[in-house]
Structure 1
Amino acid sequence: MRRLIPTGEVTRGDTRVVGHPPQGNRADFAAAEFVAAQWSRATGAGIDPHEYRRVTEGLESLDDWGPAFRRTGLGYVERAADAGSVVSAGEYLLMAARWLHVATLAPYAQAHRAAAEADDALGRGLALLEPGARRVSGEEFTGWLRGPADAAGTVIVVPGLDSAKEEFLDLVSALLARGLAVFAMDGPGQGVLAATTTIRPDYHRVVGRVIDALGVTRVGVIGLSLGGYYAAETAALEPRVAAASTVSGPFRLSWEELPQPVRDILVRRAGGAEAARGFASQVDLTALAPRITAPLLAVDGGRDVIPGVTNGERLARLAPHGTHLSVPHGDHLLGNARADWLPLVTDWITRTLTGVTA
């Protein structure tokens, strides 16, 4: 295993802290904590930090999160209808998709509706900006295939526990800029499919159906957060994976140690407490990591410390061709350190798949 540590670490304040210190009742405090915790993730997904501050500064409880973000997203849909050009309309719709997805991150009665609206906004935006983009759907998956038909390589982008294809548009753009074809997907329990499916640990079966539908013989896979586990599990069991990268992906989960908010999300996405506990017990790459014969790059943030979650260093150590990229100041999903990993990961997977540096 090789270990990469980026040089030139930037010292900065804790970007998770937004607005004023929490004051008032417990609901105010919980809302302020959640706003602070989601700052890096939301801005890393492409939401403007100043607008994030404006939208969240008046939240009095977590119940206000979903409506506020959905309202903002639908505002961008309205802007698209009034835009003066096709490009502006498309860009507004992609921004709407981001806001509508982030609306689903807190418990929200209209979460499935917001996810469907995010999916719709993304599709409408791509129809305007990239008429060649193609919707591809099958059993337990849906997503968009983008990029040249004759691309030298195809990458599948896999979201995590409560993320979706709308969250990683900037990663997709970086891969497209390097000449790759990209399929950004929702799988079981994710994004627009969360309303009708539940998460499953044997994700390689879903990716296998994706590869069949795409009609390619080899792919790269990039998985983010829990999607990192999915990507590694797939790389171990799906021989058509020629390169894999995990970003903030878990090597192992321990249900007993997981924080209650993480357990709550697992329960919602798995369809019940027993199913969630059973799912968590199967997230363990100890036996699978040595079976990953493809090159693998595991990326972790040094500040990404979640009780009950073992990060990717051990995965890279056990995988025969594993490399570990450690970003000391990076948080979960490294939204606060994008320059330290995004170009490296996209260059690495391009070179590994095609033999060419874009």
Structure 2
Amino acid sequence: MPHRSPSPFFQIPSILPDFIAQNRSRTYGAGLDPFAYERVTGGLTDLLDWPAAFMDAARGHLADAARYASARGADRSAGEAFRTAARWFHCAVLLPHPDRALTADAAAQADAAMGRALALLEPDAVRVEDESYAGWLRGAGHAAQGVVVVIPGLDSSKEEFHDLTEALLARGTAVFTMDGPGQGVRAATTTVTADYERVVGRVVDALHERLGPVPVGVVGLSLGGYYAAWSAAHEPRIRAAATVSGPYRITGWDDTVPFVRETLAQRAGSEGAARDFLARVDLRGVASRITVPVLVVDGADDVIPGVCNGARLAADAPAGAYLSVPGGDHLLGNVRDAWLGRLADWCATALRG
């Protein structure tokens, strides 16, 4: 398929095998079958073909879902196939591809497939959205025990963090998985905002309107960790916050890697807007204002140029706790058993007081 001239990110030597390796544990954590991941990525000769290859894999699962849906008594299998398709469509957009229409289509199809999955697997799931965010409220019957808002990062979405959502639901909390400005299905119509507490405030408004004044916590992953911490410092209705691979601050535009710069420029709308946004990603002087319990989870091997990890956040927050997981990479997809259950237990306990 034709492409526009590749940007500096796509011209990095060995970018294809490096990108495949860097996203291996992340895609496994998002629920992709590891053998299928190897088959799909093993057929690539150009990183620019990544979205098309992953969307083709997703369509295969949509075809499976259609076959199951036509069979008597196979609704669960159909729902699981739709859910798998949503994961593949989401993972199609993990890079700053020049064809923004293609990636917007993949995000929209991920959203649609997840909606069809939940209609079959969890018919009590509720869509909650406005012009700036969209998401699914799941397990609302347990909302009196608390609702955890799962906040994605720079290039992630509500279709990615299934294992975290399932762990929280299994511990008796409700969960709201969301796309905010510049994220997931909202990336085509909005741009990223550093004032994420305004978005979280609207989410809390909607949850309280629907459920009453239930306790609300936030868990943010990658850049979403900054959003979660910032929101906990500014939105007084947040009862607890946790971060996973979240930045304490970013030292400067020129310190970051091409992937971050190009992705952020797309999600912010321009390089200038991206530079302004990046300068705001700084919790110095803010973390000390977070009075609620905070759990910070980092992978010990997660080192990204220009990014200061969450240790300072845990130290500055009056009720902060820090978990550094040996061997953990970014998002800790390679060591999920060492932190996922602990974080879910912590969230459930914190929301229950």
Is TM > 0.5 for Structure 1 vs Structure 2?
Answer: yes
Deviation at 1:121, TM superposition (A): 0.2
Unaligned runs of 5+ in 2: 1-10
3-state SS of paired residue (2:304): coil
In 1: Cα distance, 2:255 partner to 2:16 partner:
23
Match of 2:91 in 1: 102
Helix, strand or coil: the match of 2:192? coil
Matched, 1:149 2:141: yes
Q: CA offsets, 1:199-230, max 9 Å, x none? A: 00000000000000111433010000000000
1:162-181 to 2 correspondences below 5 Å: 162-181=155-174
Mapping for residues 80-99 of structure 1, pairs under 5 Å: 80-83=65-68, 84=71, 85-99=74-88
Counterpart for residue 31 of structure 2: 46
Gapped regions of structure 1 (runs ≥ 5): 1-25
Partner residue, 2:272: 274
1:207 aligns with 2:200: yes
CA distance in 1, matches of 2:12, 2:346: 44
The corresponding residue for 1:14 is none
User: Aligned in 2, Cα 1:292/1:27: closer, same or farther, shift over 3 Å?
Assistant: closer
Which residue is 2:128 aligned to?
136
1:233 is matched with which residue? 230
In structure 1, what residue type is equivalent to 2:158? K
Report the alpha carbon displacement of residue 28 of structure 1 after superposing the two structures with TM. 8.4
Equivalent positions of 1:207-356 (< 5 A) are 207-215=200-208, 216-217=212-213, 218-253=215-250, 254-355=252-353
In structure 2, what is the Cα distance between the partners aligned to 1:28 and 1:304? 22
Contact 1:28–1:61, Cα closer than 8 Å, also in 2: no
- Aligned letter for 1:247? V
What secondary structure, in the 3-state scheme, does the structure 1 residue paired with 2:164 have? Answer: helix
Asked if residue 126 in structure 1 is aligned to residue 118 in structure 2, the reply is: yes
Q: How many residues get paired? A: 330
Name 1:18's counterpart in structure 2: none
Cα distance in structure 2, aligned partners of 1:224 and 1:346: 14
Residue in structure 1 matching 2:16, options 31, 36, 39:
31
Q: Is the 8 A contact 1:62 1:106 kept in 2?
A: no
Measured in 1, the distance between the counterparts of 2:146 and 2:88 equals 30
Q: Hey, what's the Cα distance between the residues in 1 that align with 2:65 and 2:59?
A: 10
Instruction: Tell me if the contact between 1:227 and 1:249 (Cα under 8 Å) persists in the aligned partners.
Output: yes
Letter aligned with residue 311 of structure 1 = N
Correspondent of 1:64 among 25, 44, 49: 49
Letter in 1 for 2:220: G
Q: State the 1:30 CA deviation.
A: 1.9
Question: For the residues of structure 2 that align with 1:122 and 1:42, how far apart are their CA atoms?
Answer: 17
Aligned mate of 2:154, from 151, 161, 183: 161
In 2, Cα distance between equivalents of 1:135 and 1:258: 36
In the superposition, the TM-score normalised over structure 1's length comes to: 0.90
Task: Give the RMSD, CA atoms, in angstroms.
Answer: 1.2
In 2, Cα distance between equivalents of 1:87 and 1:167: 20
Distance 2:230 2:29 in 1: 25
One-letter code aligned to 2:240: A
Is the Cα contact below 8 Å between 1:66 and 1:107 reproduced in 2? no
Partners of 1:302 and 1:113 in 2: CA distance: 36
Shift of 1:58: 1.4
Q: TM-score, normalised by structure 2?
A: 0.92
Q: Quick one: which amino acid aligns to residue 251 of structure 1?
A: Y
Shift of residue 290, structure 1, vs aligned partner:
0.4
Separation (CA, whole Å) in 2 of partners of 1:27 and 1:75: 31
Q: CA deviation at 1:150?
A: 4.3
Q: Is the 2:293–2:319 Cα contact (8 Å) retained in structure 1? A: yes
CA contact (8 A) 1:315 1:322 kept: yes
Identity, in percent, stands at 57
